[in-house]
Amino acid sequence: MAQTILHKANERGSRDHGWLKTKYSFSFSDYYDPQKIHFGALRVLNEDIIAAGMGFGTHPHDNMEIITIPLEGALAHKDSMGNASIIRHGEIQVMSAGSGITHSEFNANEDATVKLLQIWVFPDKKNVTPRYGQLEIDLAQMHNNLLQLVSPYPEDEGLWIHQHAWFFMGRFDEHVEKEYAFRKQGNGVYVFVINGSFTVNGVNLDDRDALGLWDTNKISIQTNKADSQILLMEVPMEFD
């Protein structure tokens, strides 16, 4: 029988630093909840709102797969691998921190905020050569469809990471029904509602609500509002 855990939007950790307003789905920085350390290999799901012209100065990472999805605006990225780019709404960025990188992230706009999701996944290989990827999302293919953004395979659709994990995102009309089949036995799926309303395996989810599911091999999804957007993250529940 499927196991589930419900994370309501208003139960997330919250911090307001003035230039940065952030919501934490899992324990992060000085926010700690012993019941919300991670969901399988999914370690971090932060929603950040960064003020115009502000951002994170150069800082290090290692042995983590980092996925950034702008929801509004644009983010300026620079790193120790020599990458300097702008990641906009409608794009996705992946960094494999591996043996170690440093990078900075700033709002690329001087007159508007940037809103983004930053997601960390534990890798299945340690100390790999750091790697960067960026991809424009075909927004039209997300209409009433779960579009693959991330997988374990370089030759597959979307970007890839060092983990048996798959990410999908879709935008749906009202009263659309979908079934999602797990890609790998032993994985779980963390469903995050970006906006709108869904019913997932009988559980109603609204803006920024999330539901983790495991010990099953498929889930049912129904939309309750027009223009509802959802992010599915399938990750191993057990990992080294």
Degrees (nearest 5) of the Cα angle 180, 89, 68?
65
Phi-psi region of 217 (alpha: psi -120 to 50; beta: other; left: phi over 0): alpha
Q: How confident is the model at residue 239 (pLDDT cuts 50, 70, 90)?
A: confident
pLDDT recorded at residue 53: 94
Q: How confident is the model at residue 226 (pLDDT cuts 50, 70, 90)?
A: very high
118-136 pLDDT, tens digit each: 999 999 999 999 999 999 9
pLDDT recorded at residue 1: 82
Contact 125, 152 (CB under 8 A): no
Q: To which residue do tokens 């605006």 refer?
A: 73
Give the span between the Cα atoms of 209 and 214, in whole angstroms: 17
pTM equals 0.97
pLDDT recorded at residue 105: 96
Q: 3-236 maps to which CATH number?
A: 2.60.120.10
Structure-block tokens of residue 148:
């693959």
- Annotated binding residues: 59, 61, 103, 105
- Annotated binding residues for Fe cation: 59, 61, 103, 105
| DSSP 3-state percent helix, strand, coil across the chain (nearest 5) | 5, 55, 40
In the predicted model, what is the mean pLDDT of the chain?
97
Give the span between the Cα atoms of 165 and 38, in whole angstroms: 14
86-101 pLDDT, tens digit each: 999 999 999 999 999 9
34-44 pLDDT, tens digit each: 999 999 999 99
Structure-block tokens of residue 147:
């579009």
50-97 pLDDT, tens digit each: 999 999 999 999 999 999 999 999 999 999 999 999 999 999 999 999
